[in-house]
Structure 1
């Protein structure tokens, strides 16, 4: 009997230690599942069954079980029955993980949105595009190339190919169409960066100025510029690892005020000589944007009035954290066509229907390689300047996101190519090579 008791005691101790050790992981697993479920169901209008079967069905996230409350518009996720997290959906602000500090009846401010133009054809409005036939385009090859990246191997959900402002190919996976909202993940960083370009064009900010962060003014971080932050070349400490308990997973699934995590990090490198990809930096930039406005309402509105709704990305919703900051690193949702509009804005050097939101100088700035990035990165934009994709022009640049979200801009070919899905195993070099060859 004593032996049995000792064994049971040992098992209880080991189980307790296992739970204690894995508790932070379970917190993030449940947090990811709850947040993603709430956004998928209440923002993107998918079913809980579809979300669990597709979006949350990968390890270790599939350890969580999810429930929704349609009346409350909330999702609750339990990680192996040991830890539960909750996310709530707020109209205009998207979904957010809640904590004990959350006040259900707080009625947060929401952005004011403009009325969509559903009469003007795409891309300048939301009506169907005008049919255009180009004699130099091999439409069969374009269609074949696009079709080749669909199926279980790639899990592509949407692809749009735009040549000279006209859609020459468009395809969606089963259950998705031109109206489906798709999460851009880190493509949101390119939106955040673009807003600095807009403010600079308006003469309201200088990206070469020192970062306006009072907490840095009495230490070595005081020399970090907005330029350094935009290029992710500040020298600040940051760990971007989605497969562990890292800075980025703690920020996205534990923090109420996301800009603060990067703000508090020490300097471990030299500004302008220490490129390090950091979602924390993008959210810090979102926090800096918030400082540029007298009221929180102005900050909320600016993202839409001066960029998103201005170019007719009316489907887009950028989600906020619990403190009201736009999650400028990760949480913008939009249709594939609307993601393409952001690419077209850059292709046209900031000109949209004759109005300059930013100028060509900004495009050149944003696509100038960051020192020590091997030609891969500019200002919140990925580059091919280092010839990472050897069969694609080095002038190509892109907005990239987790799980293989892409908006490719090819200025020499007058092309914008969008791919959205659930895996990152797309052979980008081969895919773009085939698209280009079908036009040239």
Structure 2
């Protein structure tokens, strides 16, 4: 009996220490757990059990207890009964973490979607892919490369994989529980989608990347010289802390702020534009807010990414999630099936042409792949680069959309390749260089 009491006391002490050390983080933990659970269930149509066992089964997040209400479409989470957070589903807008001021009865406009069937083979249409594979593909080598990505499931944690070569689907694989139609959270791959909206507006003659950022609060201080180009290249010189291990600028924004377009806007200048490169999710959400300013109404803003890009190229599974204020969370929250993520890569491989229509100017690809000063050749304009050989055995013209936990859309123009890989682990657990070099060896 005494041993049992001592064990219980020790357990309580351990729990107490854990709570004490992590108390400031509890709202982030429960916020992440509830938001991820709600989106996984109501956007990706996955089971709560699978999400709890896999997606939320990571350090600290695993401490959260989560509840799901499938009828009312919400999920909540708390840590040892503390810091309860709730995320609700809104049709067309995904899920959102709400606060005490949120009025669930207030209607929120949702984007108009225009989806149609056609007889064009995938990836350019909705029909089945062509059965034929280009004769110059070494299928034995390609099969080995695909197998490499799934060789160590406990560490690599690859979920889905797809390869397009010259616009042909040449490889595709999914683990149990995932299919070509399962929406995958892109995390920071969303940044590249948001940036593409700017490329489209530029092509339409409505924006120029050299323009000063249209922010009234900056017009009379030293921030007035920050341009759209500086923001797209993460070289504005604005202060920002992108640290996910604590309550920082980025975690405060994603899990506590109602309007995610504001945090970066309110930051001071710590360097002149172009003097430093500082990766910032706040910058992308500021750009989402600036994008909203380009339209006369909230509805037009919500419709634009779909009408001008997403639905236009047939990415019908994609959902862009919005914050409480109705702004797209361009930094982090977009969902799409693996085939649709590949369509996005193919659009860039084809330099903006889709079924004969120029979606954005071909030179936009040159712009987003031009290395940004002080990024060591790893970053362009909301796309990642291999310009300095980060992946030494892969062509240097590779550029990519990258997301947390190893979400990737790789485009390799010199090899006519688009490669999509999604999962729950990134470099070094998932060896990108070895995987991509194996893919590259399968084509001329």
Q: TM-score, normalised by structure 2?
A: 0.94
Report if the CA contact (8 A) 1:181-1:335 is conserved: yes
Answer with 146-155 or 72-81: which moved more. Answer: 146-155
Report if the CA contact (8 A) 2:155-2:430 is conserved: no
Partner of 1:134, secondary structure, is: coil
Match of 2:438 in 1: 434
Report if the CA contact (8 A) 1:32-1:61 is conserved: yes
Distance in 1 (CA, whole Å) between partners of 2:133 and 2:234 is 42
Shift of 1:19: 5.5
* 1:76-131 deviations in Å (ceiling 9; x for gaps): 10112222000001110000000111111112000000023254320111221011
Matches within 5 A, 1:240-279: 240-279=242-281
* 1:2-37 deviations in Å (ceiling 9; x for gaps): xxxxxxxxxx99999986764330000000000000
Partner of 1:378, secondary structure, is: coil
Match of 1:75 in 2: 75
Match of 1:44 in 2: 44
* 1:345-398 deviations in Å (ceiling 9; x for gaps): 110110011111111111101110000000100000000111111111111100
**Between Structure 1 and Structure 2, how many residues are aligned?**
429
Match of 2:58 in 1: 58
Distance in 1 (CA, whole Å) between partners of 2:395 and 2:17 is 54
Tell me: CA distance 1:16–1:393, structure 2 relative to 1, closer, same or farther (3 Å): closer
Distance in 2 (CA, whole Å) between partners of 1:137 and 1:18 is 54
Report if the CA contact (8 A) 1:117-1:312 is conserved: no
Distance in 1 (CA, whole Å) between partners of 2:339 and 2:386 is 23
Match of 1:5 in 2: none
Match of 2:103 in 1: 103
Unaligned runs of 5+ in 1: 1-11
Match of 2:339 in 1: 337
Match of 1:351 in 2: 353
Unaligned runs of 5+ in 2: 1-11
Report if the CA contact (8 A) 1:396-1:411 is conserved: yes
Partner of 2:65, secondary structure, is: strand
Partner of 2:345, secondary structure, is: helix
Distance in 2 (CA, whole Å) between partners of 1:273 and 1:97 is 36
Match of 2:116 in 1: 116
Distance in 2 (CA, whole Å) between partners of 1:154 and 1:18 is 29
Tell me: CA distance 1:16–1:428, structure 2 relative to 1, closer, same or farther (3 Å): closer
Partner of 1:160, secondary structure, is: strand
Match of 1:417 in 2: 419
Distance in 2 (CA, whole Å) between partners of 1:156 and 1:16 is 36
Distance in 2 (CA, whole Å) between partners of 1:197 and 1:115 is 23
Match of 1:186 in 2: 188
Tell me: CA distance 1:52–1:19, structure 2 relative to 1, closer, same or farther (3 Å): closer
Tell me: CA distance 1:16–1:160, structure 2 relative to 1, closer, same or farther (3 Å): closer
Distance in 2 (CA, whole Å) between partners of 1:386 and 1:15 is 47
1:362 aligns with 2:342: no
Distance in 2 (CA, whole Å) between partners of 1:152 and 1:117 is 39
Match of 1:8 in 2: none
Report if the CA contact (8 A) 2:125-2:314 is conserved: yes
In the TM superposition, structure 1's runs of 4+ consecutive aligned residues that sit over 6 Å from their partners are: 12-18
Report if the CA contact (8 A) 1:185-1:329 is conserved: yes
Distance in 2 (CA, whole Å) between partners of 1:423 and 1:118 is 36
Distance in 2 (CA, whole Å) between partners of 1:383 and 1:205 is 24
Partner of 1:152, secondary structure, is: helix
Report if the CA contact (8 A) 2:212-2:226 is conserved: yes
Partner of 2:373, secondary structure, is: coil
Report if the CA contact (8 A) 2:115-2:314 is conserved: no
2:300 to 284, 298, 301: 298
Report if the CA contact (8 A) 1:147-1:171 is conserved: no
Partner of 2:422, secondary structure, is: strand
CA RMSD for the aligned pairs?
Answer: 1.7
Distance in 1 (CA, whole Å) between partners of 2:350 and 2:196 is 14
Distance in 1 (CA, whole Å) between partners of 2:106 and 2:87 is 15
Distance in 2 (CA, whole Å) between partners of 1:397 and 1:300 is 28
1:24 aligns with 2:28: no
Matches within 5 A, 1:198-213: 198-213=200-215
